[in-house]
Amino acid sequence: MDNIAVRPERLAEEVSGLLTTLGVDSSALRGGTMQVRTPITGEIIAHLRETDRSDIAQRIGLAHAAFLAWRAVPAPRRGELVRLFGEELRAAKAELGRLVTIEAGKTLSEGLGEVQEMIDICDFAIGLSRQLYGLTMGSERPDHRLMEQWHPAGVVGVISAFNFPVAVWSWNAALALVCGDSVVWKPSEKTPLTALAVMALFERAAAKFDGAPKGLATFIIGGREAGEGLVDDARVAVVSATGSTAMGRIVGQRVAKRFGRSILELGGNNASIVCPSADIDLALRAIAFGAMGTAGQRCTTLRRLIVHESIYDLLVPRLKQVYASVSIGDPRDDDVLVGPLIDAAAYSGMQAALASAKAAGGIVHGGGRHDEALLPSAYYVRPALVEMPDQVGPVVEETFAPILYVLKYGEFDQAVRLQNGVPQGLSSSIFTTDMREADRFLSCLGSDCGIANVNMGPSGAEIGGAFGGEKDTGGGRESGSDAWKAYMRRMTSAVNYGTAMPLAQGVKFDIA
């Protein structure tokens, strides 16, 4: 087991300093019962107070009142508030990015990237605030106009996962705010501090805006039960929930029971196919980032590699070398590529999956823990590469850790069958220079995922496209393209500008 260098200074002090700079009153970090840890050392960095049920109901009430006022503000003006918020994010990028790194354990470059993603979605939403367009259709009745309008939906509840502690909220919130909705956020109990910081930055922006109602964007702190407070409240028109499929299965059904709307962004089990004509050097770089980046803790992480038998012995030994040498350690260090797992449960989940893969005939390379004695509460692992004889056991499940299962294929259609042969349907990719293979993969006969890429890995999406996946991934879409429609309600309207009263479909109903 090799050693890694983790700087031992007290992270609680650094966190407190960062939060103060970002506008959070440091008294919020003490006195509660909810422990917040940094995965870098495993130490406790705050004790937060959980929001109780009556407080949750009250904040939703406030958000609902804010919605009633906000919906009447012209959309481009609503975009102005998002612009001001984007400016706050630009000014605070370094501090917020570092806080993401400390709280979620991703590398500094990825922490900063997450804040950049927030800035990007704000820019997108500002433009969108002038493009919330409906359609007009040719009416079948003379002297009639038929049209479709989009109106604000109401309160949007956002439940987010630990691995994108702030970006996921911003994908939802930036769109919801320009669409005329208010937002109540339940961040992950593993990463609530970054949420406090983002809320403080939003308050700064709101203070510069003339006419932002109180409670327009607010938050609640807690775990599953706090989330349920949002899920079951009929005043919350849309629940956007990001997390595991197990969570989404419960949330989706509970929201549907009260005829609320949900946007579900759940687990993935993403694959890449490497074809005989692939550019191997390019593929290696993409596979390394896709499978090991964020320590395998992205919903779009590459988890299955489907390699043509003719290039298997060329690619896999090189991949093993990369896996054996990738730098693991303190994510604040520039030369580190793989930081820690989020917690002990993530580590034991990884070890259980590796044991089960071995039992199913897999050959495991890597996967061991580092510095257990030095850092008993921090979980640094060497990413694991597992050569599998078949797509069985843990390969069809999402284990939220850096494990890449490698499978061989002979015929192209077999590779596509393997790619689609899991319950999840988030992201996928193919490495090929054969245009027939590439286009077949993107066609309706190819990948069944919400995202399908060519000559790149499955992770690292841009905000311009709609983000989300099919099957057990939940079917939701967020971020770019026309994902905004999920935050609005559609109204179809017909206007009669004539003097007759014709009915559709030629129906007659003539009264004397």
> Kind of pairing, strands 261-265 and 236-242?
parallel
Which residues in 245-282 are b (16+ Cβ under 10 Å) and which e?
A: bebbeebbebbeeeebbbbbbbbbbbbbbbbeebeeee
Query: Number of residues in contact with ligand NAD, rule: CB under 6 A?
Result: 29
Q: Is 477 in the site for ligand NAD (CB under 6 A)?
A: no
Is residue 114 flagged as an active site residue? Answer: no
> Per CB under 6 A, does 426 bind ligand NAD?
yes
Q: Which region among 25-33, 241-249, 304-312, 379-387 touches ligand NAD (by CB under 6 A)?
A: 241-249
Measured distance between the N- and C-terminal CA atoms of the chain, rounded to whole angstroms:
93
Q: What are 307's strand-pairing partners?
A: 274, 408
CB of 191 to ligand NAD, least distance (A): 8
163 binds ligand NAD (CB under 6 A): yes
Q: Does residue number 169 form part of the binding site for ligand NAD (CB under 6 A)? A: no
Residue closest to ligand NAD, measured at CB:
227
Among 98, 106, 186, 304, binds ligand NAD (CB under 6 A): 186
Name the CA dihedral angle for 167, 246, 426, 306, rounded to a multiple of 10 degrees. 120
Binding status of residue 224 toward ligand NAD by CB under 6 A? yes
Catalytic status, residue 372: no
For tokens 């299965």, the residue is 249
Residue of 189, 233, 343, 371 interacting with ligand NAD (CB under 6 A): 189
Q: How far is CA 375 from CA 63, 323, 504, in A?
A: 43, 22, 73
Among 24, 108, 115, 247, binds ligand NAD (CB under 6 A): 247
* Cβ atoms 442, 422 nearer than 8 A: no
- Rounded distance, CA 450 to CA 430, Å? 14
In this chain, which of 267, 367, 457, 480 binds ligand NAD, going by CB under 6 A? 267
Restricted to residues 278-307, the positions that interact with ligand NAD (CB under 6 A) are: 299
Q: Taking the alpha carbons of 193, 198, 201, 206 in that order, is the dihedral positive or negative? A: negative
Measured CA distances, 492 to 136, 164, 345, 380, 458 (Å): 9, 36, 49, 55, 38
Q: Which is nearer to ligand NAD, 97 or 268 (CB)?
A: 268
C-alpha distances (whole Å) from 493 to each of 150, 152, 512 are 11, 16, 28
Closest separation between CB of residue 330 and ligand NAD, Å? 22
Kindly tell me which residue out of 95, 120, 233, 398 binds ligand NAD, with binding defined by CB under 6 A: 398
Q: Indicate which residues carry an active-site annotation.
A: 265, 299
Residues that bind ligand NAD in the complex, under the rule CB under 6 A:
159-164, 186, 188-189, 223-224, 227-228, 231, 242-244, 247, 250-251, 265-268, 299, 398, 400, 426, 473
